[in-house]
Amino acid sequence: MDLSHYVGQEAIKHQLKALIDVAKSRCQPLPHILLSGPPGIGKRTLAQAIAVDLKVNFKYTNSLVIERPGDLGALLTNLEDGDIMLISEFESLRSVVLEILIQSVRDFQLDLMIGKGPSQRLIKLDLKRFTIVGTTSKPSQIDKRLSRLMIVYDFAAYNVDETAQIIELKLKEQGFTIDPDAIKLLAQHCSRDTGVLVKRVVSHLVERHITSHLASKTLEMFGYLVDPLSRGDLTSRLQAMNALEFEEYVANLFRQIGYTVEITQGSGDHGIDLLMRRDNQLIAVQCKRWNNPVGEPVIRDFLGSLMGAGAQSGYVVTTTTFTSPAFAFTQDKPIQLIDLDGLIDLANRAGTKASSGQKE
């Protein structure tokens, strides 16, 4: 698959096509790239499409298997000019490997220590001019020295039409045909990872042709068909969640209305639970799965965390409500408060946007 057949991410593809044209005309490698987005959104597929357009070799590895500098050296010395090397889970690179990689992508040179004791010596290896493509769902955890050497692309949420095209392609690969109404129905209720939905459909159905009736029955079986939420429905659901599940729930709501969302590594009373991006803006989110109203001290601490992260604005989302001093504190601050009623509105709005294929 080349870029012209890759579905969605039009803004990213437009910029990549321009970079590819320049690289081809100058016989140079593509700049190093970082693709950021949640799992299952198509980052690896896009990297493969880039390699097809460039007519170069595509190689893949995971950061977790690169344990020592020698492991990285073996990978990089096997690359030819222009080759694409994809490293997934880029944020998990070990520190000893990270230092070597920074030098390699900057200078196309590899410094390795060989031997032991008095015979130990440093050798410098010149590398071919390759391109590293890193993928991550946690861009804030990537070493800033490395990310500055790369062009960063944040994946946007897919609309219904794009999701339908992806589902249809994946089903065809599995030997299935599907009615247009059935494709639309599946796309409207696909939360994020089309691959997961397609696997469930394929594993459940015996028939090789999918009608809207079969699609509806399958969606119902796997819990994809959800009616608009009432206050009681959402309250019950939230009470069954732990703090991490609540963060993931809120993250998915924002993803469905067009934000790129990262769940940060840790959570705490005064920390940032989510970092979101849209329209070149960084937005911080704190999620409070509480039983009591959230007070002004929490909001004050969150403002400090927001500013420390370099975010332009932020949300505090809670399963209850906020005190009057909390609301008063935010009057002239770049912080919006979302209580239980606001969560209901956000959940139903996210469902409407997902069904219509629109973004806010």
CA 315 to chain centre: 19
Distance between terminal CA atoms of the chain? 31
Residues 6+ apart with CB under 8 A from 184: 160, 164
Banded model confidence at residue 238, pLDDT cuts 50, 70, 90: confident
Q: Is 89 exposed, middle or buried (0-12, 13-18, 19+ CB in 10 A)?
A: middle
**Parallel, antiparallel, or unpaired: how do β-strands 131-136 and 84-88 relate?**
parallel
The closest alpha carbon to 216, from 172, 183, 192, belongs to 183
Confidence grade of residue 191 (pLDDT, cut at 50, 70, 90)? low
Round to whole Å and give the CA distance between 89 and 37. Answer: 11
Task: Find the mean pLDDT for residues 147-163.
Answer: 87
Delimit the domains of the chain by residue range.
Answer: 3-154, 160-221, 231-356
Please give, one letter per residue, the 3-state secondary structure of the chain.
Answer: CCHHHCCCCHHHHHHHHHHHHHHHHHCCCCCCEEEECCCCCCHHHHHHHHHHHHCCCEEEEEHHHCCCHHHHHHHHCCCCCCCEEEEECHHHCCHHHHHHHHHHHHHCEEEEEECCHHHCEEEEEECCCCEEEEEECCHHHCCHHHHCCCEEEECCCCCHHHHHHHHHHHHHHCCCEECHHHHHHHHHCCCCCHHHHHHHHHHHCCCCEECHHHHHHHHHHCCCCCCCCCHHHHHHHHHCCCHHHHHHHHHHHHHHCCCEEEECCCCCCCCCCEEEEECCEEEEEEEECCCCCECHHHHHHHHHHHHHCCCCEEEEEECCCECHHHHHHCCCCCEEEECHHHHHHHHHHHHHHHHHCCCC
The first and second tokens of residue 294, run together, are 């959230």
Bridge partner residues of 178 (DSSP): 210
For position 359, what pLDDT does the model report? 45
How many angstroms separate the CA atoms of 302 and 353, rounded?
A: 29
**Looking at the predicted structure, is the pLDDT value of residue 360 above 70?**
no
- Equal fold, 3-154 vs 231-356: no
Q: How far apart are CA 311 and CA 334, in angstroms?
A: 10
Give the pLDDT score at 81: 93
C-alpha to C-alpha distance for 52 and 61, rounded to whole angstroms: 18
How would residue 329 be classed by pLDDT, with cut points 50, 70 and 90?
Answer: very high
Structure confidence at residue 342 as a pLDDT band (50, 70, 90): confident
Amino acid, res. 353:
K
Instruction: Calculate mean pLDDT across residues 312-340.
Output: 91
| pLDDT tens digits for range 278-296 | 877 899 999 999 888 999 9
Q: Is the pLDDT of residue 229 over 70?
A: no
What is the average pLDDT across 328-332? 90
The listed CATH number (3.40.50.720, 3.20.20.70, 3.40.1350.10, 1.10.10.10) that belongs to domain 231-356: 3.40.1350.10
User: What is the fold of 160-221?
Assistant: Helicase, Ruva Protein; domain 3 (1.10.8)
pLDDT recorded at residue 255: 86
Q: Contact, 85 vs 114, CB < 8 A?
A: no
Mean pLDDT of 241-260: 88
Mean pLDDT of the chain: 85
Q: Tell which phi-psi region holds residue 138, choosing left (phi > 0), alpha (psi between -120 and 50) or beta.
A: beta
274: number of Cβ within 10 Å? 23
Crossing angle (nearest 10°) for helices 160-173 and 180-188: 120
Fold of 3-154: Rossmann fold (3.40.50)
Q: Closest by alpha carbon to 258, among 164, 346, 156, 351?
A: 156
Query: Which pLDDT belongs to residue 288?
Result: 93
Between 269 and 273, where is the model more confident? 273
